[in-house]
A and B are shown apart, each in its own frame.
Chain A
């Protein structure tokens, strides 16, 4: 059923007033609710939902090789995040695809194509560190690049296991995850992983926004350490990764 709902949420330190047709997005964002004055407003139109549906169907067909029609309320939540991430570009913030976990106040982001095992790897960190480890976001965190550092924010768009924490933590390292029989980790240069950084960042279709994204990726890659991890599914992979990056 379509109703119109307007509520405010604080995400990545900005207050968004969101107006949607469905409750779904608001339920998702419940932990982030606020009464502070809004910095930005997001209003979803029927047209936004239709466009998002087309994008999702295309992506699903490309990735899974079959057609699928998603529910409009879920699709609306994606349209909200698309608008939010395009607004946040002008607040020095990018949406990046990966699983982020923090230990002792430092965050580590694992990135790779879907299905490589990012979530499995951060689950191993939780087994190893227990309560010392905090899941920031398992799928689509926001990263703000300041003059001093990169800071990663938990957001409600958090992947199929629904793991996120409403918090922000300085990002110590980005780690490209690959599968390997034995566990090993190496430091890499920006050139070694530039294509991955580009692929894993949300890319707006508008060229001037895309130019902003490219500038932010450059600043981002200067403010964080970069690693490549070869890992198996054992808990020991988390130990190898942490020891390689804790510095």
Chain B
């Protein structure tokens, strides 16, 4: 899966936001926290939830795989709900 090409990640006021340039799926924008920004960043290339989890575990040493997988699933679900993911 991968973030759709029309979705842009833009940094404004020290915060990363996600915007649908096509305006067709979703006309607002998504605010992020560092975790969701990292996950969205990984999705700019074709990847899997498993691969993202491995990347997060490298980054956050004291996190457990279970917690990380849950975070990823939650964010991926949200992104799918706004039509931001190509399966």
Contact = CB atoms under 8 A, between A and B. Distances in A.
Given A190-B13, A205-B23, A210-B19, A195 B29 contact: yes
Contacts of B8: 207, 210-211, 214
B48 interface: no
B12 A194 contact: yes
Contacts of A206: 21
A85 to B, nearest CB: 15
Contact of B21 (A190, A195, A199, A210): A210
A217 B17 CA distance: 13
Given A199-B27, A207-B6, A214-B8, A191 B13 contact: yes
B54 interface: no
A198 B23 contact: no
B5 A207 contact: yes
Interface string B37-59: 00000000000000000000000
Interface residues of B, number: 15
DSSP class of A's interface residues: helix, strand, loop or mixed?
helix
Contacts, number: 40
Contacts of B27: 199
Nearest to B23: A203
Interface in B1-37: 5-6, 8, 10, 12-13, 15, 17, 19, 21-23, 27-29
Interface residues of A, number: 17
A61 to B, nearest CB: 15
A25 B36 CA distance: 47
Interface string A64-102: 000000000000000000000000000000000000000
A198 B21 contact: no
Contacts of A191: 13, 15
Interface in A191-221: 191, 194-195, 198-199, 203-207, 209-211, 214, 217-218
A115 B82 CA distance: 27
Nearest to A209: B21
B27 to A, nearest CB: 7
B11 to A, nearest CB: 9
A217 B22 CA distance: 18
A198 B29 contact: yes
B82 to A, nearest CB: 15
Contacts of B5: 207
Contacts of B22: 205, 207
A59 to B, nearest CB: 11
Contacts of A214: 8, 10, 12, 19
Contacts of A207: 5-6, 8, 21-22
Given A205-B21, A207-B5, A195 B12 contact: no
Given A190-B13, A218-B12, 6 more contacts: A191-B13, A199-B27, A203-B21, A211-B21, A214-B12, A217-B12
7 contacts: A190-B12, A190-B13, A191-B13, A195-B29, A199-B27, A203-B23, A207-B21
